[in-house]
Structure 1
Amino acid sequence: MEISIEKIKPSTPTPRHLQIYNISQLDQMIPCVYVPLVLYFCSDNSNNNNDDRIQHLKESLSRTLVTFYPFAGVIRDALSADCSDQGLPFFVAKVKSQMKDFLRNPNFEFINKFFPRECDMEKQPGPGDSVMLIQLNCFDCGGIAMSITFAHYIADMSSVSTFLRCWAANARGLGFISQLSPLLCTAQSSFPQNPSFPNKLIPMLNYLKYSSRGKFVTRRYVFDASALSFLKAQLNSSAASRVNVVTGLVWKCFMEAVAEETNGKPFLMAQSVNLRKRAVPPFPEDSFGNMIVVPNIVCRSPQEKELGDLVWEVKKGVENIDGEFVRRLEGGGLGEYLEELRNEMPQQANVLVFSSWVNMGLNEVDFGWGKPVWLSGYITQNSESETVAVCNCVTLMDSRDGGIEASAIFDLKYVAGFEKNDLIRSYAHVNPTVI
């Protein structure tokens, strides 16, 4: 692919007092890793030449970065970013194919090419590395696959969604950015940084003790809206959310797929929960940074658990993160809570980690040529060789019809058993066409 690069800086210089961005204590709970996202926009058939569109995106991005200045900075150390307007690396690549051909049969290995070569998802970013990188992959037909890669310890996906929607509104000429107040750093005031916080309490580092080497592959499962409605009716779970139901179903099928080699080990399920709406009063939706916690649910006798029971356990685990819980964390109880989580974790376990991007507005991002027809996230690099030790994990996203798409990274040895499960065969489509 032909690739060009330009660093996009904020249209107005970042004030000196904002040039060091210090993360919050909640951010400290997140490993310094890059998180990738791709938004796919089909051509509107009016103009297959993207030159004007690209220039307009660069100009509107520059204006947007005035508010979201950390994304134009670089990593300073484990606790801060240098926001001296170094510039957000903006790549443009030419893809010699038609987007419709790709979307009819999504090729996961090809998706890796949509990210800048400078991004190695298998390595931790370090001092001097960009907080965010963007690459526009322009197909011959005029379609665009926009990849966004960001340092997770600086922001969560909710923050990135706010950034993308503001950028899109600015690109459409809505004047939204000029009306924004300065970056809302609610997390820093409610959960001030603690430089002496022990690494042993970071949840994701604790999950790694359960990880194993294997051939990990990315699989895509789509639960359409009608299937989820029918399933909720069957389970008499009208009070459960789409995320509750899909999480419970995937977890059950995963446990059954690995049951033969559990050797009595319990199953541990971890899921990220957004604190913004759960605080009383709620934190602003556009609060920047990581405002998530990751509670655990342990299942010691999976053979005794029906799907409805698991959906209820998932729902209850999320509902425990309520206003009183958030007040406890704000009152200095974060360390105590994480110590409790660590002590509750079994010595050995089969772990499955969930992350939900549902209802974050990513499907509503519109730069003026329509909303994205598809989203994709992290893709395993090579399914043919044994990878570094990782955990089995699932990312949930909205599908176009109101259903949910699950992007799963599983050890290859579990995939066949997972996909032959009657629940998957009845309610999910495996890597269906996007268009």
Structure 2
Amino acid sequence: MAQIIASDIVKPSSPTPNSSKTHTLSCLDQASPPVYINLIFFHENHQSKQREEISQRLKQSLSETLTIFYPLAGRIKQNSFIDCNDAGAEFVEALIHTRLSQFAENPKIEELEHLVPAAFSSATDDPILSVKTSYFDCGGVAIAVCFPHKIGDISSFATFMNAWATAFRGEASGIIRASFDLAIRFPPLEMLVSGLRTGITEEKLVTRRLVFDKDKVERIRKLEASRSEVKDPSRVEAVSAFLWRSFIEAHKQCAGGVAWFPAAHMVSLRRRGAPQVADHALGNCFTFAAAVVSADEDGDGDMLVSRLRAGIRTVDEDYVEAISEEEFMRELLNGLGDVFTKENCVLRVGFRMGKTGYAWINVCDDQFFSLIQANFNTLLN
């Protein structure tokens, strides 16, 4: 579907000073698995710009941005640091022989994969950052950016993308400078130098996109408030509990014999410590807050919202202070390892991007997903 027409390496417009050649990973970076965050940005070409002009401006502005975000042009070494050697980012261009409106109206995951850069291995000479720009027959453009979780969370990703967009508009002088000192706040740990396994297997799994509009979300929130001791659930708490309940019911019908049903929220640490961590600080600054119910106590699931809220509230100032301690980190990773096994985990709630747009992620097969859909319909009718 995608016809590759060019592949280049974009390097910073100015060399990185010798004093900044090494970027130390924090313990939170070290603890992040070697997986990538992929985001795709779709743009209609209202000004009928030529492909060559778009390509040149994207690469030039990316080069300017990499001068400021110089670790992204380096290479990760030994799960300990980034060699900021200005080796550059990958920039791939492709043609998509269809119209953007037809592609984006109701995209399928397997079709979106054609827009995303190829996944890298953990080799130390692989680029940290990869971009794939796809040009549609109508003139529309899709820009897919592949950003390694090893060096930053979604807040870091957003900071970089905002900076690149600013440079593209010709306003590079207005870019908010990122800071690269999270390793001072969360020092690296020797126990994490070897890195972590992803836990991803080669099993055949199914991916589905679930869309809840504003009215449906409000209906779910009222439903969860009526059955919970928490009478003011947030939208995230309400929809999370709704999904959790559906997964639990599906597990009971499909698997049977499951004794515990964990759920985990990704929680930002940037506002939960003292002092707070700035949004423009490049690096990982999040953890997972887990909540668990047993099959025996589940009942109608009227405690799900309160369990989720209690789990998130455990991530407080003391938690942030302790997370860089080796024993605390070891216990945290062991606990999350138990939660994130395929047999146990029924819900993993991901990140928020902007004012809306939450990602809920789970691993299941087709039969199990059909049961989940059936439970969605039952709960909403």
What's the TM-score once normalised by structure 1's chain length? 0.77
1:291 deviates by 0.7
Indicate how the Cα distance of structure 1 residues 320 and 199 shifts in structure 2: closer, same or farther if over 3 A, else same.
Answer: farther
Indicate how the Cα distance of structure 1 residues 343 and 90 shifts in structure 2: closer, same or farther if over 3 A, else same.
Answer: closer
Match of 2:4 in 1: 2
Question: Partner amino acid for 1:231?
Answer: I
Indicate how the Cα distance of structure 1 residues 174 and 4 shifts in structure 2: closer, same or farther if over 3 A, else same.
Answer: same
Match of 1:36 in 2: 38
Indicate how the Cα distance of structure 1 residues 110 and 235 shifts in structure 2: closer, same or farther if over 3 A, else same.
Answer: closer
Indicate how the Cα distance of structure 1 residues 239 and 175 shifts in structure 2: closer, same or farther if over 3 A, else same.
Answer: farther
Indicate how the Cα distance of structure 1 residues 224 and 347 shifts in structure 2: closer, same or farther if over 3 A, else same.
Answer: closer
The alignment status of 1:114 with 2:115, answered yes or no, reads: yes
Match of 1:336 in 2: 328
The alignment status of 1:173 with 2:170, answered yes or no, reads: yes
C-alpha contact 2:248 2:346 (8 A) present in aligned 1: no
Q: 1:163, 1:424 → 2: CA distance?
A: 42
Match of 2:63 in 1: 62
The alignment status of 1:187 with 2:182, answered yes or no, reads: yes
Kindly provide the CA deviation profile for residues 206-255 of structure 1, in whole angstroms up to 9, marking residues without a partner as x. xx4xx887430110001111211222223336643322222222121111
Indicate how the Cα distance of structure 1 residues 41 and 315 shifts in structure 2: closer, same or farther if over 3 A, else same.
Answer: farther
The alignment status of 1:216 with 2:209, answered yes or no, reads: no
1:73-84 map, 5 Å:
73-84=74-85
Which runs of 5 or more residues in structure 1 are unaligned?
Answer: 364-397, 428-435
**Secondary structure, counterpart of 1:92 in structure 2:** strand
The alignment status of 1:157 with 2:151, answered yes or no, reads: no
Q: 1:308, 1:141 → 2: CA distance?
A: 51
Match of 1:384 in 2: none
Kindly provide the CA deviation profile for residues 280-315 of structure 1, in whole angstroms up to 9, marking residues without a partner as x. 332111111111112322221277254552122112
Q: 2:376, 2:191 → 1: CA distance?
A: 49
C-alpha contact 2:260 2:295 (8 A) present in aligned 1: yes
Q: 2:326, 2:191 → 1: CA distance?
A: 13
Indicate how the Cα distance of structure 1 residues 265 and 199 shifts in structure 2: closer, same or farther if over 3 A, else same.
Answer: farther
Which runs of 5 or more residues in structure 2 are unaligned?
Answer: none
C-alpha contact 2:43 2:141 (8 A) present in aligned 1: yes
Match of 1:312 in 2: 306
1:169 deviates by 1.8
1:30 deviates by 0.8
Match of 2:217 in 1: 228
1:7-406 map, 5 Å:
7-44=9-46, 46-47=47-48, 49-117=50-118, 119=119, 124-177=121-174, 180-181=176-177, 183-197=178-192, 208=199, 214-236=203-225, 239-260=232-253, 261-301=255-295, 304-329=298-323, 332-333=324-325, 335-336=327-328, 338-339=330-331, 342=334, 345=338, 349-352=343-346, 354-358=348-352, 360-361=353-354, 398-399=356-357, 404=358, 406=360
Q: 2:143, 2:379 → 1: CA distance?
A: 32
Match of 1:378 in 2: none
Indicate how the Cα distance of structure 1 residues 213 and 169 shifts in structure 2: closer, same or farther if over 3 A, else same.
Answer: closer
The alignment status of 1:417 with 2:374, answered yes or no, reads: no
Q: 1:353, 1:422 → 2: CA distance?
A: 14
Q: 2:78, 2:325 → 1: CA distance?
A: 25
Indicate how the Cα distance of structure 1 residues 218 and 257 shifts in structure 2: closer, same or farther if over 3 A, else same.
Answer: same
Which range is displaced more, 293-302 or 214-223? 293-302
Q: 2:378, 2:41 → 1: CA distance?
A: 26
Indicate how the Cα distance of structure 1 residues 190 and 89 shifts in structure 2: closer, same or farther if over 3 A, else same.
Answer: same
Which range is displaced more, 5-14 or 299-308? 299-308
Q: 1:342, 1:409 → 2: CA distance?
A: 20
What's the TM-score once normalised by structure 2's chain length? 0.87
C-alpha contact 1:296 1:341 (8 A) present in aligned 2: no
Q: How many residues align?
A: 372
Question: Partner amino acid for 1:416?
Answer: S
Question: Partner amino acid for 1:128?
Answer: D
Kindly provide the CA deviation profile for residues 350-371 of structure 1, in whole angstroms up to 9, marking residues without a partner as x. 213524231x33x8xxxxxxxx
Q: 2:379, 2:147 → 1: CA distance?
A: 35
**Secondary structure, counterpart of 1:244 in structure 2:** helix
Indicate how the Cα distance of structure 1 residues 47 and 229 shifts in structure 2: closer, same or farther if over 3 A, else same.
Answer: same
C-alpha contact 2:117 2:145 (8 A) present in aligned 1: no
Indicate how the Cα distance of structure 1 residues 297 and 54 shifts in structure 2: closer, same or farther if over 3 A, else same.
Answer: same
1:197 deviates by 3.9
1:151 deviates by 2.1
Q: 2:270, 2:161 → 1: CA distance?
A: 18
Question: Partner amino acid for 2:266?
Answer: S
Kindly provide the CA deviation profile for residues 146-187 of structure 1, in whole angstroms up to 9, marking residues without a partner as x. 111122211112111110011112222334555x44x41342
Kindly provide the CA deviation profile for residues 23-81 of structure 1, in whole angstroms up to 9, marking residues without a partner as x. 1111111112233222222332x306332222112111111111211111122222222
C-alpha contact 1:220 1:408 (8 A) present in aligned 2: no
1:90 deviates by 0.7
Identity, % of aligned positions: 27
1:4 deviates by 0.5
CA RMSD of aligned residues (A): 2.8
Q: 1:198, 1:171 → 2: CA distance?
A: 37
Question: Partner amino acid for 2:168?
Answer: A
Which range is displaced more, 124-133 or 241-250? 241-250
**Secondary structure, counterpart of 2:190 in structure 1:** coil
Q: 2:201, 2:217 → 1: CA distance?
A: 32
Indicate how the Cα distance of structure 1 residues 43 and 309 shifts in structure 2: closer, same or farther if over 3 A, else same.
Answer: farther
**Secondary structure, counterpart of 1:299 in structure 2:** strand
Q: 1:134, 1:424 → 2: CA distance?
A: 42
